[in-house]
Chain A
Amino acid sequence: GAGVSQSPSNKVTEKGKDVELRCDPISGHTALYWYRQSLGQGLEFLIYFQGNSAPDKSGLPSDRFSAERTGGSVSTLTIQRTQQEDSAVYLCASSSVGTSGPSSYNEQFFGPGTRLTVL
């Protein structure tokens, strides 16, 4: 069975360019999460989707960051006018949703990540 997949696996871009990162969650998982893993900073929550809506965008670091999800499946994280401090590994995870709603715990399955380098 397929796990969470992300593309590209590596992306090198120049400062000021826009980038799009893609996440394909596990089939049937309604919840999807984006995280950022920076060197020495651990994992930083960015945004959470339930279906196609994003009830929690609190982790997006600036208005240059946006994400969408269509068809309750694939999600795209877009970073506009990239800066060097955006360099990190961007991780996507998906999970099913428990009966108590988004706050109930169902295991998150992580993708391999996209390593973004902004020159």
Chain B
Amino acid sequence: GDSVTQMEGPVTLSEEAFLTINCTYTATGYPSLFWYVQYPGEGLQLLLKATKADDKGSNKGFEATYRKETTSFHLEKGSVQVSDSAVYFCALRDDKIIFGKGTRLHILP
């Protein structure tokens, strides 16, 4: 069945560091891909999405490119801030949404 695998956390970085959170997927069809974010004490929010191969989703300085050849959707940000500390979930949607296990990100001032 469809699945999502993302790097385990926690990931700890200093402010202004470059961030990559890896995500790969397995799907029989052509899913849409998403990154969701869960800030401390808040609900899940959609961060960005891409609906077809080579699409790039972007929001709040974060980017992810739908790579069909490597079945990946890695999340990147060039300069992280303390306020980016949260749990990040990679997800795909074919007939239903399937989430990865989440990656906790800590940004140190």
Contact = CB atoms under 8 A, between A and B. Distances in A.
A42 B43 contact: no
Contact of A111 (B43, B95, B96, B102): B43
Contact of A105 (B42, B51, B102): B51
A91 B44 contact: yes
Interface string B44-57: 11100101000000
Interface in A102-119: 102-103, 105, 107-108, 110-113
Contacts of B93: 105
A65 interface: no
B89 A43 contact: yes
A112 B99 contact: no
Query: Main secondary structure on chain A at its contact with chain B?
Result: loop
Interface string A77-116: 0000000000000010100000000110101101111000
Interface residues of B, number: 20
Nearest to A93: B44
B84 to A, nearest CB: 19
A42 B102 contact: yes
B101 interface: yes
B89 A42 contact: yes
14 contacts: A3-B43, A42-B102, A43-B44, A43-B91, A44-B99, A45-B97, A56-B96, A91-B43, A103-B94, A103-B95, A105-B32, A105-B51, A107-B46, A108-B46
Listed from nearest, the 10 A-B pairs whose CB atoms lie closest are A42-B101, A43-B99, A110-B44, A110-B43, A112-B43, A105-B32, A42-B99, A107-B46, A42-B102, A45-B96
Interface of B: 32, 42-46, 49, 51, 89, 91, 93-102
